[in-house]
Amino acid sequence: LLSQGIHAEVYEALGEMASRPPRSGFILAFDEEGGPPIPEIVETVGRVGNYAPVAMYSDHPDPERIVGAMLSGALDYLALPFDAEGLERLLERMSASGHKHVALRRKAAKAKILVEKLTRREREVLHALVNGASNKDMAAALGISPRTIEIHRSNVIRKLDASTSSDAVRIGLLAELDL
C-alpha cells in the first residue's frame, strides 16, 4: 500500500484497531491460523461505530475460510503475494461496492443499538412482529393480554423512532431479529 502512495494504518492486534478505529477507507486484515476468527474481525469493525468494508488476505488461502469470510461480511479475499495490479483491482472493487455495503452495515449497526435499548419484553414483541405475528398471537405466545401487547408495541415504535409498525419491522430485520 505504501509503495503505491496509499496511506495505511498498521495495527498489531484486533484490540488495538478497536481502540483506534480508522475514520475512513477499508480494512485489509491478515487471515492467519490461530488469529482472530473472521466473523470476530468483521463484527469488531462494525461494533466500533464507523464501519469500514473489510477485505481479507492470506499466504495460504483455504476455500472454506474464503467462503466463511464472504459469509461473515468481508467484501474480498486475496492470496499473498499480490502485486500492484492485484492491489489496484482490490481498491477498485472496494470503491465500487464499498459505499453501498458501508451504508447498509451502518444502518444495521444503528438498528442493533436501537434494539438493545428495548426491554426484554419489548424485544420479544418486536421479534414476534418481525415474524408476522398478530397482537392476538403475540398475547397468547407471551401469556399477556392483547391490550398489554398494544402498549409494548407502541413503546417499541416510539423507542425505535419508527413512524409505523412496518418501520419497526425494518429496523428489527436490520438488527437481525429474525435469525
pLDDT tens for each residue of 83-128: 878 888 888 887 777 667 667 777 888 898 999 999 999 999 999 9
3-state helix, strand, coil in the chain (%, to 5): 60, 5, 35
Owner of C-alpha cell 479475499:
77
- Separation between Cα atoms, residue 131 and residue 145, nearest integer Å: 19
Peptide bond into 81 cis (omega under 30): yes
Contact predicate 148/128, CB 8 Å: no
Q: Which is nearest to 139 in space by CA: 159, 123, 125, 126?
A: 125
Report yes or no: 74 and 42 within 8 Å, Cβ to Cβ.
yes
pTM above 0.85, yes or no: no
Q: With bands split at pLDDT 50, 70 and 90, how would you rate the model's confidence at 178?
A: low
Helix (H, G, I), strand (E, B) or coil at 32: coil
Average pLDDT for residues 44-69, to the nearest whole number? 80
Cell matching residue 132:
408476522
